[in-house]
Structure 1
Amino acid sequence: MGNLCIETAQSLQELVAKTASTSTTLVRPRLYRRGFVHEILDTVVLIGTIYALVNLVSARFIVQGPSMEPNFSTGQFLIVSRINYLVAQPQRGDIIVFHYPGNPQEDYIKRVIGLPADVVAIREGRVYVNDVELDEPYINEPCDLNHCQDGHWVLGVDQFFVMGDNRNHSSDSRAFGPIERRYIVGEALIRYWPPSAWDVVAQIGYTNPSLP
């Protein structure tokens, strides 16, 4: 009887040991799977955060229409900086993307011609800012009188006069007037598609000494 009890006790101990070993083996994969899922979730959160930050400081824009030819063509993709104009004013010559005042859901791309408090005039197809003719190396043909009728605009303290580089085929401030700063999305910085057109958007330095 004594031997039987001892053998039974030993058998129970072996059974408990095997059960504990089996339990440990079964638990480990669960801990591993939970850690792997957490890593996936952390990665997704990180990607989402980066994407949100990128969209906060920049936007993507697809050029539509011929209004900015020969410098920008339909189908080209641009990166637009939202942050530039949080710390500085748009400058003359900047390429900007803005919400069309007549339909804020629609975005336009144009060049800044007139700054707040400027007086912009068109006379015989030529553009004048504060009575100084604007030197415009970025246009490839003069504006004909049918599309550049004489006009005169006095800009407010928060207004900008914008025009397309393709003057004969652009709807801009000549048609809808100066735009307010609140409509401006940002400044075009990089053209990244198609790859053959990849480029940093050039900054214009005007040669007119009396213009900022």
Structure 2
Amino acid sequence: MSVAEKSEKKSGGLGETVSVIIQALVLALVIRTLLFQPFSIPSGSMRPTLLEGDYLFVTKWSYGYSHYSLPFGPDIFSGRIWGAAPKRGDVAVFKFPPDPSVDYIKRVVGLPGDKIQVKDGQLFINGVGVPRVKTGQIDNPDITEAQGPVDVYRETLPNGVSYDTLDLTPNSIGDNTREFDVPPGHYFMMGDNRDNSSDSRFTVGFVPEENLVGRANIIFFSIADGASPLEIWKWPSLMRVSRLFNFVD
């Protein structure tokens, strides 16, 4: 084989490698944009449903697509396309309205046209109290982020979706609110950790439908104490095995 042939073969091999890498990156970008996006839980606002250190997949097609679905969020169209409206009780990822560069995750409790209020810690939708039953206490700081037992309440929304919420302290600032009228095309979001959640009762406000990123679907990894998934040597002691591959309710 001549020197020229060897050089051509080497060049061809390098070109094929670069081509494969580019194709893989494009495929990953398409999957992340249209199908699934990984998301990590940064705070305790959704305890006990989601914990810091949970890593989950968000289904992008659940609510269709907005310009926020695209890489870097170019403002090339408004509204949403090819999607269904969120259901009451969905756990959804959305862009923080005051700063769309920040992702939030909360539960959808109010739909467009709803009247939402909290009275003495109980959620009211259109003037009707959501059933709220105390199911017991949790005394596990990894779940509650508190020292000592915390009351757990089971809420059941009008469409039958039920989930656990935490009541860290009585008479907290979010236990009694004014009545909120949810505007058309907007949603009212709340965290399951009711006394430790920045949500639509406070700075988040009403969430425009175009700010929705996707629906939380399944936990694929979970690790405690703020450890990174890359710290493999910590997996035996800190991985929350019981949370792996749990669907998000």
| Shorter-chain TM-score range | 0.7 to 0.9
Aligned residues: 180
Q: Distance in 2 between matches of 1:167 and 1:190?
A: 22
Shift of 1:200: 4.1
Give runs of aligned pairs for residues 126-165 of structure 1, distance below 5 A.
126-135=122-131, 136=155, 137-142=162-167, 144-146=170-172, 147-165=174-192
Q: Which amino acid aligns with 1:199?
A: F
Structure-2 residue corresponding to 1:77: 55
Q: Distance in 2 between matches of 1:160 and 1:36?
A: 53
Give deviations 1:158-202, integer Å, cap 9, x for gaps.
110100001011111111322111222211112122262222433
Q: Which amino acid aligns with 1:80?
A: V
Q: Which amino acid aligns with 1:187?
A: R
1:94 equivalenced with 2:94 (yes/no): no
Q: Distance in 2 between matches of 1:89 and 1:62?
A: 24
Structure-2 residue corresponding to 1:192: 220
Q: Distance in 1 between matches of 2:121 and 2:111?
A: 20
Q: Which amino acid aligns with 2:181?
A: V
Match of 1:171 among 177, 192, 198: 198
Gaps of 5+ in 1: 1-23, 204-212
Q: Distance in 2 between matches of 1:37 and 1:65?
A: 44
Gaps of 5+ in 2: 65-82, 132-154, 156-161, 223-238
Percent identity, aligned pairs only, is 28
1:38 equivalenced with 2:84 (yes/no): no
| CA 1:108–1:168: 2 relative to 1, 3 Å | same
Shift of 1:111: 0.4
Q: Which amino acid aligns with 1:131?
A: G
Shift of 1:95: 0.7
1:119 equivalenced with 2:144 (yes/no): no
1:55 equivalenced with 2:32 (yes/no): yes
Greater share of residues in helix: 1
Deviates most, 54-63 or 81-90 = 54-63
Q: Which amino acid aligns with 2:190?
A: M
Please give the secondary structure, in 2, of the residue aligned with 1:70: coil
Q: Distance in 1 between matches of 2:199 and 2:165?
A: 17
Deviates most, 127-136 or 88-97 = 127-136
> Larger radius of gyration, structure 1 or 2?
1
